[in-house]
Amino acid sequence: MSRAELRRLVVEQQAHFEAAGLTAGCTLAVRLPPSLSCVVAMLAGWRSGAQVALLDYRLTTHEVGKAVARITPQLVVEPVGEVTGTLRGFFDVDTRVVPLRGGRPADSPHVLLQLSSGSTGPSKVIGRTVASLLAELDRYGQLENFPRRGERIVVLASIVHVLGLVGGLLYGLASGAQVVLPSRLTVDGILKAVAAEGEPTTLLGVPSQAAVLAAAQTPPQLPQLRRMITGGELVKPTVRERFTKGYGADLGVMYGMTEAGVIATDLTGTTQPGLVPAPGMQVRVEDGQILLALPETPYVGQSDPTRYVDGWLRTKDAGSFDEATGLLTVHGRLDSQVSVGGLKVDLSEVEASISALPGITEAVVVHGTGIEAFVTAAERAAFDGLADCLAARLAPYKRPRTLHFLPELPRTATGKPVRNAEILRAAARSAAGV
């Protein structure tokens, strides 16, 4: 689709919104799957001067109700019919605009509202201003090895969450790079999207998608594929090795947050575990926690007042900063450190030890009454021998009290593994029943 055609559709949608009562200062919730309709609705809302809240179309009715109660939009644009297809990357949907009773005009200067991933607890309402979004687009533009005009970005990350939205869709529109949404998020669908044109191409997604691509037995030759860039969590070394060797392309990573977007990067896979802070981002480490300088709090409504203090956002991520090299190393969540019998245990260390074992594909480790591990494996035999393997690798107080086998890990809408113990246990009970 050309930019001229996109502008025409946005102007038409803006007229529909205004006929429904949407004007400057109003609030609009967009709950659509990745589609032309979603892109047009989002841009038309902003052209109308509205505050746009993005809701993942995969949320349940109950979750949507809770989100609407928190952000109180005046209008919501949603699909006319049911949306199905778990591995679809792009949909063709008809939409309707629904006015909501009790909706209120915007009471903050934010033009974009998003919900945090909710991988470790209840989601937070996060607001971005025009200045915040433009600053992030500028950071992407200054990153060496990020796509430019004349290149393509195949966006695998959700366009209603920060990586796919800003790093993919909005950056592509701003920079002139071509934005591609694959019809299907299968290995075949992704590789077909890469092969469709000959321009230099970058994949933008999450580590689980890189792992799926890396697992392909005989990857095709794709000289236009320059690199894949992932965000959201760390990439396993084995995945990096298989991906780079199989496709002859770089596998880069980005560290970021919904609150601020991209913070630090290694787009070529050469500086890890250290990352280079993105241009204009001020970071420091205090008592082992990564702090990020922001001009204002990103949170809307009720929030923890200790998260943003004196211009610094406490990320709750553990990290270290090398003054000599200027590299930031992210060690994982601070809440992954627990006390067992008076001894400190880093759950991320336990998780990494399990994930590194032969045959183990993924693991999530949580702490409740004791340490619990939820594990996926290529074969059941690898899981059955897990306890014996860990006995030789971890001190007794670090070993999981309970091991759960899952066919796949529950994930958030952004592709991150869920770390809520109750949800994980429910998935384990369901798997055991099957």
pLDDT at position 136:
97
91 residue type, one letter: F
Residue 114 near residue 53, CB atoms below 8 Å: yes
User: Token pair for residue 186?
Assistant: 């299968």
pLDDT at position 238:
86
pLDDT at position 67:
86
Q: Is the pTM of this model over 0.85?
A: no
- Tell me which residues of the chain have a pLDDT lower than 50: 119-121
Closest CA to 154 of 198, 190, 187: 190
Question: 14: how many CB neighbours lie within 10 A of its CB?
Answer: 21
Distance CA 312, CA 331 (A): 19
Q: Is 149 helix (H, G, I), strand (E, B) or coil?
A: coil
Residue 433 backbone zone (phi > 0: left; psi -120 to 50: alpha; other: beta): alpha
* Contacts of 315 by beta carbon, 8 Å cutoff, 6+ apart: 257, 289, 290, 291, 292
Distance CA 113, CA 24 (A): 16
Domains and CATH numbers, the chain: 3-107 (3.40.50.980), 130-281 (3.40.50.12780), 341-433 (3.30.300.30)
pLDDT at position 346:
80
pLDDT at position 86:
74
pLDDT digits (tens, 9 = 90+) for 106-143: 999 999 999 875 544 456 899 999 999 999 999 999 99
Q: Quick check: bond before 358 cis, omega within 30?
A: no
Residue 190 near residue 204, CB atoms below 8 Å: no
pLDDT at position 434:
63
pLDDT at position 297:
94
Paired strand residues for 250: 227
Furthest C-alpha separation in the chain: 68
What is the DSSP annotation of 325-365?
TTEEEEEEEGGGEEEETTEEEEHHHHHHHHHTSTTEEEEEE
**Half-sphere exposure in the Cβ direction for 414 (13 Å, CA):** 26
